């Protein structure tokens, strides 16, 4: 449901009502705690509650009352969406699905006792735990930058105030100023995301500051939809965007947020805006739970169970699962598989073969949408890509417009699928 005042009131009231009730009403019912209310967690909570018809006691732990989707946040930067249109509340999940929505941080997991501890002190017991915490940033991955500097050099890679800040900084750029992006190394959330963002920044600058320039420092030799983006940049924003790949030192970058400078392979640039998207790792609760291997949480492909603990399922960006890109669509797809597996384990519901899919739409300019998608299946070893498609260069404008409109439909669909 879109964010509005009434939705907020709904969440508060419903959550308060549910909080007072569950331990009485839920005696003997299997309990699932879901940590993280994004594309993975909200979907998992909703499907568990909906499909178990009240047979499972579902608690969703999410710190924010207003959730802003990372997907479509670039469109806000480009001026195609209002920020409020990508904000969502948990009111319907609480009121219509009976999910116990708790707005708090999960700060500890006791895997032996099977409990989650919240910052507010509550201890939630679980039979199955779902962790869908998204990403955190690896400190020092961009020398000179730390999360303490994120208001000078925003990442805007978790949507909300950071996205607003980045847009405001772009709007305040001096005439002919320079916007720099430090692009992340693989793997990271939303593979086409940084490049869609550059497209949206260019769209905004073309309107308000047409002599401004965009510089991307990129540690990766190639990126998703590269031919499509480069074609579009040439067509719509000729000469505005320059990308420095690893061959020319794009991977050898440091920043100075106080001086507003970026050093790319020894060449220091003064910048008006610097969008630092650091290297990423699983949201920190996975590390606290001790289920990471390296930076990510490995999972069993067919059920999304942690390979370290069969009572924990991990979803979305935080996982190491194989071929699926870290995307909201992927997390939503994985959540349905996990919800089915959990219902099978806790209530004896039928378990069907896992199927996964993903599509990533990107907007390059007004009515110029492109997409890449694939279907995936579990192998013993990983979730493996078995089929896929991508938009082609040179497509006609009617098809590109239809692709963009399709993405609007998808946004409406997936957010209803997440939040009810």
Partner 1 sequence: MTGWMSRASGAAVLVAFTAVTARAEAIGDAERGEELFGMCAGCHEVGRGAENGIGPHLNGIFGRKAASAGEDYPYSEGLERAGADGLEWHLRTLDAYIENPKALVSGTRMNFDGLDDPQERADILAYLRRFSDDPQNIPEADPTARAPEVELPPEVLAMVGDPEYGEYLSSECKTCHQADGSDEGIPSITNWPAEDFVVAMHAYKQKLRPHPVMQMMAGRLTDAEIAALAAYFGELE
* Residues near partner 1, by CB under 8 A: 47, 51, 186-187, 191-192, 220, 222-225, 302, 322-326, 329, 332-333, 336, 340, 344, 350-355, 357-360, 371-382, 384-390, 405-410, 412-414, 416-417
Q: Reduce the DSSP state of residue 108 to 3 states and report it.
A: strand
* Residue 45 CA neighbour count, 13 Å, CB half: 31
Name which of 150 and 321 has its Cβ closer to partner 1: 321
| Residue 240 near residue 207, CB atoms below 8 Å | no
Query: Between residues 240 and 335, which has the closer beta carbon with respect to partner 1?
Result: 335
3-class DSSP assignment, residue 309: coil
Residue 277 CB, shortest distance to partner 1, in Å, is 14
CB of 351 to partner 1, least distance (A): 5
Q: How far is the CB of 18 from partner 1 (least distance, A)?
A: 24
Nearer to partner 1, 217 or 372 (CB): 372
**For partner 1, which is the closer residue by CB, 311 or 377?**
377
d(CA 165, CA 148): 15
CA distance 304 to 302: 6
User: Could you give the CA distance from residue 381 to residue 321 in angstroms, rounded to a whole number?
Assistant: 9
Tokens 């769209």 belong to which residue?
A: 203
Cα(60)–Cα(46) distance, integer angstroms: 9
CB of 72 to partner 1, least distance (A): 13
Q: In whole angstroms, what is the distance from residue 182 CA to residue 253 CA?
A: 8
CB nearer to partner 1: give 167 or 220. Answer: 220
The C-alpha atoms of residue 226 and residue 390 are separated, in whole angstroms, by 11
For the chain, how many residues are written? 420
Identity of the residue, 110 or 405, whose beta carbon is nearer to partner 1 in the bound complex: 405
> Token digits for 246?
């690893």
Give the shortest CB-394-to-partner 1 separation in angstroms: 14
Task: Classify residue 326 by its DSSP letter.
Answer: B
Q: At what angle do helices 397-419 and 41-52 cross, to 10 degrees?
A: 60
Between 144 and 420, CB nearer to partner 1: 420
Q: Which structure tokens are listed for 170? A: 């772009």
Q: How far is the CB of 395 from partner 1 (least distance, A)?
A: 11
Q: Where are the beta strands (DSSP E) in 192-260?
A: 213-217, 241-244, 253-256
CB of 416 vs partner 1, minimal distance in Å = 5
- Least Å distance, CB 156 to partner 1, is 21
Q: Which of 393-409 are b and which e, b meaning 16 or more Cβ less than 10 Å from the residue's Cβ?
A: eebeeeebeebbeebbe
- In the complex with partner 1, which residue's Cβ is closer, 15 or 346? 346
Cβ distance to partner 1 smaller for residue 95 or 149: 95
Nearer to partner 1, 242 or 405 (CB): 405
- Angle between helical axes of 193-208 and 226-237 (0-180°, round to 10): 0
What is the smallest separation between the CB atom of 65 and partner 1, expressed in angstroms? 24
Nearest approach in angstroms of CB 272 to partner 1 is 30
- Per-residue burial over 280-302, b = 16 or more CB atoms within 10 Å of its CB, e = otherwise: bbbbebbbbbebbeebbbbbbbb
């Amino acid at each position: 449901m879109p964010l509005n005042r009434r939705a907020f009131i709904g969440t508060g009231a419903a959550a308060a009502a549910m909080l007072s009730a569950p331990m009485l009403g839920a005696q003997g019912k299997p309990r699932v705690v879901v940590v993280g209310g994004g594309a993975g967690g909200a979907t998992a909570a909703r499907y568990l509650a909906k499909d178990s018809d009240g047979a499972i006691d579902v608690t969703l732990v999410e710190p924010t009352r207003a959730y802003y989707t990372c997907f479509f946040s670039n469109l806000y930067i480009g001026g195609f969406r209002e920020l409020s249109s990508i904000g969502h509340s948990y009111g319907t999940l609480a009121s219509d699905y009976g999910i116990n929505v708790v707005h708090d941080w999960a700060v500890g997991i006791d895997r032996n006792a099977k409990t989650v501890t919240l910052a507010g002190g509550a201890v939630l017991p679980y039979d199955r735990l779902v962790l869908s915490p998204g990403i955190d940033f690896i400190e020092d991955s961009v020398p000179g930058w730390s999360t303490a500097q994120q208001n000078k050099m925003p990442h805007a890679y978790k949507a909300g105030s950071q996205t607003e800040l980045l847009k405001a900084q772009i709007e305040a750029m001096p005439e002919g100023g320079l916007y720099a992006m430090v692009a992340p190394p693989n793997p990271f959330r939303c593979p086409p995301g940084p490049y869609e963002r550059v497209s949206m920044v260019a769209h905004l600058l073309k309107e308000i500051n047409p002599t401004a320039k965009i510089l991307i420092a990129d540690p990766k030799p190639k990126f998703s939809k590269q031919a499509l983006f480069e074609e579009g940049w040439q067509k719509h924003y000729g000469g505005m965007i320059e990308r420095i790949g690893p061959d020319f030192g794009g991977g050898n970058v440091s920043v100075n947020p106080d001086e507003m400078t970026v050093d790319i392979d020894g060449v220091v640039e003064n910048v008006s805006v610097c969008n630092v998207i650091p290297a990423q790792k699983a949201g920190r609760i996975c590390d606290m739970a001790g289920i990471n291997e390296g930076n990510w949480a490995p999972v069993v492909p067919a059920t999304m169970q942690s390979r370290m603990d069969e009572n924990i399922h991990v979803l979305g960006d935080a996982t190491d699962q194989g071929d699926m890109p870290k995307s909201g669509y992927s997390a939503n797809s994985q959540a349905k598989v996990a919800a089915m597996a959990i219902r099978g384990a806790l209530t004896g519901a039928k378990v069907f073969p896992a199927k996964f899919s993903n599509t990533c739409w990107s907007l390059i300019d007004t009515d110029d949408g492109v997409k890449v998608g694939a279907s995936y299946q579990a192998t013993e070893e990983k979730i493996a890509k078995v089929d896929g498609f991508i938009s082609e260069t040179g497509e006609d404008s009617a098809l590109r417009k239809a692709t963009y409109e399709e993405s609007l439909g998808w946004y409406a669909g997936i957010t209803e699928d997440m939040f009810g």
